[in-house]
Chains A and B, each alone.
Chain A
Amino acid sequence: MGPYILKRLLLMIPVLLGITIISFGVMKLAPGDPVSVVTDLNPNMNKEAIERIRAYYGLDQPAYVQYAKWLKNMLMLDFGRSFAPDSRPVIDKIMERIPVTLLINILSMILILAVAIPLGVMSAVKQNSVFDKGTTVFVFVGFAIPTFWLALLLMILFGVKLEWLPISGLRSLTYAELSVPEKVLDLGKHLVLPVFVSSFGGLAGMSRYMRSNMLEVIRQDYITTARAKGLDERTVIFKHALRNALLPVITLLGLSVPGLIGGSVIFETIFAIPGMGQLFYQSVMSRDYPTVMGILVIGAVLTLVGNLLADVMYSVADPRIRAAG
């Protein structure tokens, strides 16, 4: 176990370096640099002053020196200060937004697993039944529906017409006056639509994946053996088949992390949820480059961590991986 994780960690280093190089490259695409921000404000600046500012930001040095410096700061989680009027350190702004985004993404993942696994298993076991066909239709709808449109439709239905659920923010205006159970209920109500919307696409993908895994597994010899032993169908499906069909799901969960995090931009913007996605959108709109870069790098690192967790979980669940190293 130990050597396997160590090997995975070592393999992460070149990928991490690559992430920073690409991020740095994206940053260099920006028209103008911090100097032009200053000279725009004060066009009469003399040449020496401009040179001093360039030197201050290290812009007079070759790109690789700038990159090395930037990387050093990044390793110490120093992403600089935001260009926004509050000019707070970028890392502080990101850190206070991360919990909300993680909460919603983790809830979505739980929902995806809780719904997609039974759905996939059932439609595989009853292949070509009405239930299976219905699931297939749902899967195709799930793949084709734009998340933000689904969000709008649900807001109109449950927020505007039926008035069952709030459509923006995480808390009601009266939040401070509520008792603790009421606060939880209030938060829960605000989370229903965002969590549902963010998990919808994943739900479709995961059910389809689960279905084809299960179809594959129930054709294996050991399932025939289990049936031949006289085990009842429930034991065959849920004990022998499901465990093997579940293994690849772990990998898919890891792979779905970038999609979920990226999707948070859309639903957090629509539902006015103060998470990392909304911060990213606001920073993009206001050209707050340091914050954009910080979130880009942190988002990629979160993905990497998600993949690592998935690999570790896989090796815990499947002894063959550990043996192969």
Chain B
Amino acid sequence: MYADFLRRLARDKLAMVGLCVVAVLFFVAMFADFLAPYPPDRIDVEKILVEPSRDHLMGTDPLGRDVLSRIIHGSGVSLSVGFVAVGISTFIGVILGAASGYYGGLADRIIMRFVDIMLCFPTFFLILAVIAFLQPSIWNIMIVIGITSWMGVTRLVRAEFLSLRERDFVRAAVSQGASDLRIIFLHVLPNAMAPILVAATLGVASAVLVESSLSFLGLGVQPPDPSWGNMLTEGKDNIEIAWWLSLFPGLAIFITVMGYNLLGEGIRDTLDPRLRR
């Protein structure tokens, strides 16, 4: 089944483009030290705000640091925030969604009400409020994005469980006296993996966007550590004189998010036969 899935996914050109983007991102993040032409924090007072040129392909910032090198070193942040935040939200979503869909009744009603309540908060407000009370750091951001974005997965997992628990193979497991935990994790959950995988891939994209917005607002990764978001803050401060500071880091975010989205949509189309034309 998995081989078949991979073969069909490989035929989806857009999904492969997305996969390549993600693979390149991993590669860049892992070998940042070798790929970056300059150390990311080397200040050069003779080369302040130099336009893109042969020496500095993406120009330099107000401290004379090479923009390309900082973008390369910033890739690790985007990568890790995306994965950790989505790991947290998927974990919470699977547990709550499974409990809600499998047991139903009071547990279901309480969890779903909780989801409704969380969805009432303007997303960005809740994240900012929690960050305001904690200290802005990369770990806090991962956690906060994770614990404010599990609602979609919960609803999704619940819906899957609601329909799967009526199926014959689940009844067979029940009649054999399998424990609830065994049924949930060994029988039902594997059959619900597909939509969870899609949601997680798309979730990474949105986590990357949120992290960059937070860093842009000064509430995320703190300078001098480079992140694409906080590099754009410098772009804004020098908007009248240095367009390259605004263009390139944003382009990096855009391409990354696009890559995850294409991959996620590709997986969805491959898994959901109803969408195939």
Q: Counting CB contacts under 8 A, is B150 at the interface?
A: no
A152 touches B117 (CB 8 A): no
Instruction: Return chain B residues, CB-CB under 8 Å to A15.
Output: 113, 116-117, 120
Q: Counting CB contacts under 8 A, is A35 at the interface?
A: no
B125 touches A261 (CB 8 A): yes
Output the residue of A15, A147, A307 with the most chain B CB within 10 A: A15
Residue of B nearest to A301 (CB): B120
Q: Counting CB contacts under 8 A, is A205 at the interface?
A: no
B133 touches A29 (CB 8 A): yes
Question: Which of under 10, 10 to 19, 20 to 34, or 35 or more describes the interface residues of B?
Answer: 35 or more
Q: Chain A 138-154, CB within 8 Å of chain B: the 1/0 string?
A: 00110111111100110
Given known pairs A145-B254, A281-B128, the reply for A152 and B246 (CB within 8 Å) is: yes
Give CA–CA (A92, B209) in the complex, Å.
33
Q: Chain A 111-141, CB within 8 Å of chain B: the 1/0 string?
A: 0000000000000000000000000000011
Residue from A149, A153, A261, A281 in contact with B217 in the complex, judged by beta carbons closer than 8 Å? A281
A144 touches B123 (CB 8 A): no
Interface 9-residue window, one of B1-9, B88-96, B165-173, B231-239 = B231-239
* Minimum distance in angstroms from A321 CB to a CB of chain B: 18
B133 touches A18 (CB 8 A): no
Instruction: Return chain B residues, CB-CB under 8 Å to A140.
Output: 258, 261-262
B258 touches A146 (CB 8 A): no
B236 touches A152 (CB 8 A): yes
Residue of A nearest to B123 (CB): A262
Q: Counting CB contacts under 8 A, is A62 at the interface?
A: no
Instruction: Return chain A residues, CB-CB under 8 Å to B69.
Output: none
Residue of B nearest to A270 (CB): B236
* Minimum distance in angstroms from B16 CB to a CB of chain A: 15
Residue from B122, B130, B254, B258 in contact with A262 in the complex, judged by beta carbons closer than 8 Å? B122
* Minimum distance in angstroms from B188 CB to a CB of chain A: 28
Q: Counting CB contacts under 8 A, is B185 at the interface?
A: no
Instruction: Return chain B residues, CB-CB under 8 Å to A31.
Output: 133
Residue from B122, B213, B261 in contact with A147 in the complex, judged by beta carbons closer than 8 Å? B213
Q: Chain A 275-297, CB within 8 Å of chain B: the 1/0 string?
A: 00000110111010100110110
* Minimum distance in angstroms from A197 CB to a CB of chain B: 13
Residue from B114, B205, B216, B236 in contact with A144 in the complex, judged by beta carbons closer than 8 Å? B205
A149 touches B205 (CB 8 A): no
Instruction: Return chain B residues, CB-CB under 8 Å to A155.
Output: 239
Give the dominant DSSP class at B's interface: helix
A262 touches B134 (CB 8 A): no
Instruction: Return chain A residues, CB-CB under 8 Å to B119.
Output: 258
Instruction: Return chain B residues, CB-CB under 8 Å to A141.
Output: 258
A296 touches B117 (CB 8 A): no
Question: Which of under 10, 10 to 19, 20 to 34, or 35 or more describes the interface residues of A?
Answer: 35 or more
Give CA–CA (A162, B212) in the complex, Å.
28
* Minimum distance in angstroms from A126 CB to a CB of chain B: 15
Q: Counting CB contacts under 8 A, is B22 at the interface?
A: no
Give CA–CA (A140, B18) in the complex, Å.
12
Residue from B117, B126, B243, B257 in contact with A156 in the complex, judged by beta carbons closer than 8 Å? B243
Instruction: Return chain A residues, CB-CB under 8 Å to B45.
Output: none
* Minimum distance in angstroms from A21 CB to a CB of chain B: 8
Q: Counting CB contacts under 8 A, is A30 at the interface?
A: yes
Give CA–CA (A300, B212) in the complex, Å.
24
* Minimum distance in angstroms from B28 CB to a CB of chain A: 18
Give CA–CA (A259, B262) in the complex, Å.
22
* Minimum distance in angstroms from A292 CB to a CB of chain B: 5
Give CA–CA (A283, B132) in the complex, Å.
9
Instruction: Return chain A residues, CB-CB under 8 Å to B193.
Output: none
Q: Counting CB contacts under 8 A, is A27 at the interface?
A: yes
Instruction: Return chain B residues, CB-CB under 8 Å to A265.
Output: 124-125, 128, 217
Residue of A nearest to B253 (CB): A146
Output the residue of B120, B133, B212, B257 with the most chain A CB within 10 A: B120
Q: Counting CB contacts under 8 A, is A160 at the interface?
A: yes
Give CA–CA (A160, B121) in the complex, Å.
36
Q: Counting CB contacts under 8 A, is B250 at the interface?
A: yes
Q: Counting CB contacts under 8 A, is B72 at the interface?
A: no
Q: Chain B 241-264, CB within 8 Å of chain A: the 1/0 string?
A: 001001101100110011001100
Instruction: Return chain A residues, CB-CB under 8 Å to B131.
Output: 284
* Chain A stretch 249-265: residues in CB contact (< 8 A) with chain B: 257-259, 261-263, 265
Can you add 17 more A-B contacts, CB < 8 Å, to A22-B118, A146-B250, A146-B257?
Answer: A14-B113, A18-B113, A27-B133, A30-B133, A140-B262, A155-B239, A156-B243, A159-B239, A258-B119, A258-B121, A280-B125, A284-B132, A285-B132, A300-B125, A303-B120, A303-B121, A304-B120
What are 10 A-to-B residue pairs whose CB atoms are below 8 Å?
A: A29-B134, A146-B254, A147-B213, A148-B212, A149-B253, A152-B236, A152-B246, A258-B121, A280-B128, A299-B125
